[in-house]
Structure 1
Amino acid sequence: MMDTVDVPIISAHVPVYAHPGDAGADLVAAEAARLEPGQRALIGTGVRIALPEGYVAFVVPRSGLAAKHGITIVNAPGTVDAGYRGEIKVSLLNTDADHAFDVAPGDRIAQLIVMPVPRANFIPVDALPDTARGEGGFGSTGYTTGQPA
């Protein structure tokens, strides 16, 4: 059985999970907008939530919008902290070089993922423990001799 958390919400359109087991609940636009090629816009959802302390919500792109129309979220994932009480807005970006994209009220534009998040104690040290990866990053695991691994 999946754990649940109660999240008080003020919204005309409460986010819903499309399928059992989905991680993200759909957020819908509360306003219309037209995104020309390469343009971004901040779209209101009309959703305001009160996350419990120890939780965070992430606003993430919808894969169908990205695949079919090149629509993504500029600051993905957008972070909604437990203390935030304002409207959740989505910074959409049209990556399509040729076609505009119209957003209408009620269109599913993003997903909201609610997760527990622990507080970190940052402990200053002089050295970090070694790992097999070490300092390798930014593609260091994908190529060995110039050919894809």
Structure 2
Amino acid sequence: MRSVDTIRFKRLDSNPDLPLPARATEQAAGYDVRSAEADFVLEPGDIRLVGTGLVLEMPPHLECQVRPRSGLAVRHGVTLPNTPGTIDPDYRGEVKVPLINLGREPVSIARGERVAQLVFARFETPTVELVEAVEATTRGGDGFGSTGRG
């Protein structure tokens, strides 16, 4: 059995009122992360970079994917404009979440509200090589719906 990696978090704010990112259920893949900012309103069409007050440190073979929370998306139209966002293992700045309101009404976001989820994934770093030709396939360059519907 593979050992479990450790993700380390540092608080930027000395006020420990916000919990560390955590999974809502035992089998949840994502760790909910919360807004560390004062309460604000996200108007329809607005994009705002929301600070979490946290810096993370993870092993060099992991990335952190920042994904929307389905409840915010379905109930209010609030999602992430660059989903999933990627945090590389060598980044040591504050974890920030870009929120966009695609809904029709303003949405209030309170300090401590869960605004995104963090999903950790292993990644590969293959060698990149320039070649004169690539191997042909039956599909070729057909894409964007070329395999049909249904």
TM-score when scaled to structure 1? 0.87
1:75 aligned partner, one-letter code: N
Residue 107 of structure 2 aligns with which residue?
Answer: 101
1:129 aligns with 2:105: no
- The gaps in structure 2 that reach 5 residues or longer are none
Runs of 4+ in structure 1 over 4 Å off = none
Q: Decide whether aligned partners of structure 1 residues 119 and 65 sit closer, same or farther in structure 2, where only a CA change above 3 A counts.
A: same
1:80 aligns with 2:87: yes
One of 49, 56, 63 as aligned partner of 1:49: 56
TM-score when scaled to structure 2? 0.87
Cα offsets for 1:2-26 (capped at 9, x unmatched)? 8521011113421001112211100
Q: Decide whether aligned partners of structure 1 residues 38 and 117 sit closer, same or farther in structure 2, where only a CA change above 3 A counts.
A: same
1:20 aligns with 2:21: no
Cα offsets for 1:90-128 (capped at 9, x unmatched)? 0100001x2000110111110001111111211222222
Alpha-carbon distance between aligned partners in 2 of 1:102 and 1:126, rounded to the nearest angstrom: 54
Q: How many residues in Structure 1 have an aligned counterpart in Structure 2?
A: 143
One of 107, 117, 121 as aligned partner of 2:123: 117
Residue 29 of structure 1 aligns with which residue?
Answer: 35
Alpha-carbon distance between aligned partners in 2 of 1:105 and 1:117, rounded to the nearest angstrom: 33
Alpha-carbon shift at residue 33 of structure 1 (Å):
2.0
Residue 61 of structure 1 aligns with which residue?
Answer: 68
Q: Which secondary structure state, in structure 2, belongs to the residue aligned with residue 83 of structure 1?
A: coil
Cα offsets for 1:33-53 (capped at 9, x unmatched)? 211111111111112111111
Q: Decide whether aligned partners of structure 1 residues 59 and 124 sit closer, same or farther in structure 2, where only a CA change above 3 A counts.
A: same
1:6 aligns with 2:6: yes
Give me the identity figure in percent.
Answer: 39
Q: Which secondary structure state, in structure 2, belongs to the residue aligned with residue 66 of structure 1?
A: helix
Whether the 8 Å contact between 1:30 and 1:105 is mirrored in structure 2 is yes
